[in-house]
Amino acid sequence: VPVIGVLALQGDVREHVAALAAAGADARPVRRPAELDAVDGLVVPGGESTTISKLTDIFEMREPIDKRIVDGMPVYGSCAGMIMLATEVLDGRPDQRGFSGIDMTVRRNAFGRQVDSFEAPVDITGVPGEPFHAVFIRAPWVERVGAGVEVIGSVTGGPAADRIVAVRQGNLLATSFHPELTGDLRVHAYFVDLVRSVS
């Protein structure tokens, strides 16, 4: 059984731990370097990316997480977690910093100029079945991806149609939305499979 940590500095940690456990992982909160050493994969939850960035430094987790990413540890970032995995952030705070993550540009609170929170169907490459019912809460979208980044999900209709909301680069996965809130375990199962395949 793959051991998967949820970065537990701020955000909806419990919901991700529950979803990962239901998807077959040994899931646990992680906030110390020694706890990080014990996991095969990591989830960076939704919350507030500026706060997560700040607490990452206070808890001295930045270097250990970057090191594990370079070593190939799978990481899944949801919403604020997606922002923490982006190499470039628009509309961010000048002092917020992400991990050595996905070669992409995300815009913070991107949908928020029209509407704060909304739900929309998203087709995700590699996730079989019906389109995913995605919940967006002050979510980012992806405005640029580098050559090594695969776009695996976009909004299918409505005012935000075609916006990129799910990407993968190697063992790094990110979604703008919150699958941990819907009871649909397919994204977490996809990540658990990814962790299983490399550990």
Can you tell me the distance from the alpha carbon of 68 to that of 105, in angstroms, rounded to the nearest whole number? 22
Residue 182 engages ligand GLN in binding (rule: CB under 6 A)? no
Write each residue from 74 to 93 as x if it is in contact with ligand GLN (CB under 6 A), else as -, in one continuous string.
-----xx--x----------
| Contact call for residues 55 and 62 (beta carbons, < 8 A) | no
Give the residue with the Cβ less far from ligand GLN, 87 or 109.
Answer: 109
Give the residue with the Cβ less far from ligand GLN, 16 or 108.
Answer: 108
Q: Which residues of 157-194 are buried (b: 16+ CB within 10 A; e: fewer)?
A: eeebeebbbbbbbebbbbbbbbbbbbebbbbbbbbbeb
Min separation Cβ 83 and ligand GLN, Å: 5
C-alpha atoms less than 13 angstroms from C-alpha of 125 in its C-beta half-sphere: 12
> Does 138 carry a binding-site annotation?
yes
Min separation Cβ 99 and ligand GLN, Å: 14
| Binding-site annotation: residue ranges for L-glutamine | 47-49, 108, 137-138
Residues tagged active-site: 79, 178, 180
